A and B are shown apart, each in its own frame.
Chain A
Amino acid sequence: MLTPESIEEVQEAVLSQERIRIAGGGTKSALSRDASLSTAKLSGILEYEPSEYTFTALAGTPLAVIRDELAKNGQFLTFDPPFVEAGATIGGTVAAGLSGPGRFRFGGVRDFFLGVKMVTGDGQAIFGGGKVVKNAAGFDIPKLNVGGLGQWGVIVELTFKVFPAPGEFATILVETSGASDARELTTKLAMAPVELFCLDSNSQSVQVRVGGLAEAIDARCRRVQSLVGDRAVSILRGDDDNRHWSDAREFRWVPEGHSLVKLPISPGEMSNVAETLSAPEATVPHRYSVGGNVVWIAWPDSLGQTEFDRVFASRGQNRLALTGDWEQPSQIDPRGAVFADRLQTVFDPGRKFAG
């Protein structure tokens, strides 16, 4: 495993290898297996100016380090990245294109990634984007890297936009009578002007997080309650609230012997997916997140990739397996390939990063 410590060493590493697969914190095991280059020694926050709402960090910087540093200044990563406690890095999070439940409020990792310094397949160090919160110059190379799984090169430095953190959070758990009830309530809440941070659900409950000034938080909870009709409600505050969302963000609900798979959906597909999962439902735990825009599936390893793709074949879904042993962890819509392939000839002419 190569462990470069500087951008020059990344360039040397890229030039010396014929094929490169990059690993960050190794939390998405399906994506980082067979890695040949680790960003472990490219770690640290390089610039952080709280009053600019921006920071720049090296790719291997653990999210937990960034979270703690931002918290000292009352700021936070708005896109609520997963696997913080597990040791995920900022670079790996971008490459996998992952955002957590809290992305419902302000947007995902793509929406806050401003600038990137990276090394392309021919060893060239390039910079794309900017270091200020608003910039319309150049091609949006930062966004291209989101979800790219390292196919464009080695991300070395990243600049992000951050926001002030809410003073307090609270969670409203609403009991629902099955998948269609959960879907109906999710739609109602997503359309209401109540500015939710999280809007997750499974077939038993809809889980809603509000945040803001401490003095308004009770009123915010009552407001959400007023929208749920006569469904039973419980409220989580303080540590209980934190633990609930930490469990969601860290995927602690995924049982042993299961692989975690991300399936982006549109809210209208919630019931279809529920139906698809309902046959073997007892053994397929899943969780809808971001107002029904993604379903996270804990797929039994005993069933494997072939069975997953068979079950979901009719949906033609994009999917991304994050853990487990998958021959092809990523399956993406081929209808953008013509454009991507042309870009690839510039980023990675020798296809060192492909596959």
Chain B
Amino acid sequence: MSTDAFYTELRRIYSEDRLLTKNAQLVPYESDGLTSFRAKPSGVVLPQTQDEVIRTVKLCHKYEVPFTARGSGTSLSGGSVPVENGLVIALNRLNRILSYEPGQRIAVVEPGVINLKVSQRAAPDGLYYAPDPSSGPVCTIGGNVAFNSGGAHCLKYGMTSNHVLGMKVVLPDGELCTFGGSSLESTGPDLTGMFIGSEGLFGIALEITLRMLPKPERYYTLQAAYDSLEKAGNAVALVVASGMLPGAMEIMDRLSMDAANAQLGDCYPKDAKAVLIVELEGTNEEVEAEKPKLHAVIEESGAHLIDAAKNDAERSRIWTGRKSAFSAVGRLSPDFIVQDGVVPRTKLGEALAEIDRLADKFGMRVANVFHAGDGNLHPLVMFDGREEGALHKAEELAGEIIRLCIRLGGSITGEHGVGLEKRAYFGEMYGEADTDFMQRLRAAVDPLAIANRGKKLPSAEAPALTSRGAHPLEQRGIVSRM
């Protein structure tokens, strides 16, 4: 069947301003937060209602046109890069909070709602939406659902899937399904959980019921400086052994501190090899009782400088430094790749030493910023895309780091998803039989393989790698990569 017929039918749904086919209109949709992948769609539609999305998916199915649902395009794994000549369904206009019921601690939202807006809506009631990816001010809930996004507070509160109670979805052939509901409890298989993190392969979420939590009334955030990465890593082990459960534990290495210093002025000590951020949160009573325990542990761990936030402004300063680290690396290097691997927490030291060794071997710089509490590494591989072969070398080094995570018993992705970027390593993590099983699941749900084709699971098609520099939003300092 012809593309012309497909577009003729699409035009019955969309007016010209909501069906983009001109070259200049398509360019912004060719790529996402992982700028080294790029593909040109044949068109972009901007639906305003759920019904338009459903009709569009049915048309894609009828004409066998691959589609990619897209929110703000902040994916760091190339998850929202279009399929070459496929259709992009841009969901940004489905951005209504359909209902918000503070007494029931739930909100029902459309997929284009911005992550941070949910917490803003709930703030007057002392509630918030817990998952806090660093792109929270721009990324959408639909994208969070597709990639099971995380953030700095996953250790205690989990990822996106731990905060979604129910969903209405459209499957790749236009069938509608409803999973879960508005209760924390359910009966029957957890289809909500199965759909989340499927990276668009199972279809598009149209309505998402989110669980809201009371905002912790008290935070206590401290930053400790160490003369070695190993000591910072050991401090994490000591905190864990103490029986405390901090909301977040983050480590930055020297190179990432240099980057943050270059961007924000000298906010990190020049003589430290690593800083550890630990954040306690909870009731006043509990945090007050935990404070001296935490200080005792951190002193025992050999920190040479402990800087505790005395108020909200100081807490915010600590987190600004941490969250800026990625974009700040742009000050040290024209290009960089953010990796997202997980290792068992007890193997963090081994992983970091090996990453150092690999960086030396490749003759490249790698900065390390990581969610130490859950073993989620974000190595930043720096390179200059103008140098012949540098991007490929950087990708190769990043791949070696991912293989290291698999070898140590971890995962190829903690929170960014597999996307386009890590499909090559999927089979190494799961093995041939399990990978094949997941391919069959995908085929059972979407026999035509039209929903976000080429993502998540290994496949032959892959757009060419090109170096394009940082994402425009990142260049403007609006988002950072994690």
Contacts and interface: CB of A to CB of B under 8 A. Distances in A.
B289 A216 contact: yes
Interface stretch (A34-42, A58-66, A145-153): A145-153
B278 to A, nearest CB: 15
Interface residues of B, number: 96
B28 interface: no
B433 to A, nearest CB: 7
A293 interface: yes
B139 to A, nearest CB: 15
Contacts, number: 270
Interface string B152-164: 0011111101100
A346 to B, nearest CB: 5
A219 interface: yes
Contacts of A280: none
Given A138-B438, A194-B283, A343 B444 contact: yes
A137 B429 contact: yes
Given A52-B346, A111-B158, A213-B289, A143 B187 contact: no
A195 interface: yes
Nearest to A335: B178
Interface residues of A, number: 86
Interface in A207-225: 212-213, 215-216, 219-220, 223
Interface stretch (A13-21, A172-180, A185-193, A304-312): A185-193
A103 B148 CA distance: 21
A343 B417 contact: no
Contacts of A139: 194, 197-198, 438, 441
A189 B429 CA distance: 44
A149 B188 CA distance: 8
A212 B214 CA distance: 18
A343 B343 contact: no
Contact of A193 (B102, B150, B283): B283
B363 to A, nearest CB: 29
Secondary structure dominating the interface of B: mixed
Interface in A151-165: 151-152, 163-165
Interface in B183-220: 183-198, 202, 214-217
Interface string A47-79: 001011100000000000000000000100000
Contacts of A337: 177
Given A164-B245, A193-B217, A126 B189 contact: no
B285 interface: yes
17 contacts: A51-B241, A107-B162, A133-B345, A134-B411, A139-B194, A142-B193, A143-B161, A144-B189, A213-B293, A223-B283, A264-B185, A266-B106, A293-B184, A294-B183, A338-B177, A339-B171, A339-B179
